[in-house]
Amino acid sequence: MAGAWNRTRDGWMNLLYALDLDEVLDAVCPGKATRLIAADVAWWHRHSGGELDSNTRVWAQLSLPWMALSGEAPCTREIVRQVCLETGVDPETSGRNWYMA
């Protein structure tokens, strides 16, 4: 499900940029869906001195994507950018560009 959501989201954003309509993201910029990680893998990462992927912290602070699309909770390009900066993630070069596909 997470992969399907993220591919659909990327396609929608690519379409917005291709049509020069990326200002839509100023009104609604639904977040990505995070993938589940097995508990043993998460434990191993922490035990070996690692942490969860920094993008997980971004995801955890954003409105759920379906709530943003339904208008129940705000999630704009500026909110996404701000959360990325607050969590130490570069929103444009993190390897998972948060507001461009």
- Residues 75 and 92 sit within 8 Å (Cβ to Cβ): no
Residue 32 is encoded by which pair of tokens?
């990505």
Which residue has better confidence, 38 or 58?
Answer: 58
pLDDT band, residue 94 (cuts 50/70/90): low
The predicted model gives 19-40 an average pLDDT of 86
84 three-class SS: helix
Give just the sign of the alpha carbon dihedral 93, 96, 62, 72.
Answer: positive
- For the chain, the distance separating the N- and C-terminal CA atoms, rounded to the nearest angstrom, is 18
